[in-house]
Amino acid sequence: MANAKVMAGASRLKSAVRTLRDEWNLTEPTWNDVARQRFEQRYLFPIEPAVDAALIGMQKLADVLDRIRQDCSDRSEHL
């Protein structure tokens, strides 16, 4: 079940990014200056699009693994 492991990893990644965003938002009342804005621009804002791209790649990988498993299963039935 390699694809299940891939999708479990994708789920953990989504959850981690959600937690990061939630925790980051909690810092705003006590840290709201130019340094925060610079940090967001440089490090935090690029994370979500990169994670979205990774999740798409992980879904494609899971699909390929499913096809490979199916192909190998079909071939073993014909032997």
Q: What is the mean pLDDT of residues 8-21?
A: 97
Query: By three-state DSSP, how is residue 78 classified?
Result: coil
Q: Give pLDDT, residue 74.
A: 77
In a domain, 79, yes or no: no
pTM above 0.75, yes or no: yes
Q: Which domain holds residue 8?
A: 2-74
The answer on pLDDT for 2 being more than 80 is no
d(CA 1, CA 50): 26
Name which of 1-5, 11-15, 16-20, 59-63 the model is least confident about: 1-5
Q: Which amino acid is at 43?
A: Y
In a domain, 28, yes or no: yes
Q: What is the mean pLDDT of residues 45-73?
A: 94
- Give the phi and the psi of residue 45 in degrees, each rounded to 5: -60, -35
Structurally, the chain folds into a number of domains equal to: 1
The answer on pLDDT for 61 being more than 90 is yes
The angle, 0 to 180 degrees and rounded to 10, between the axes of the packed helices 2-27 and 47-77 is 170
Cα angle 71, 64, 3; round to 5: 100
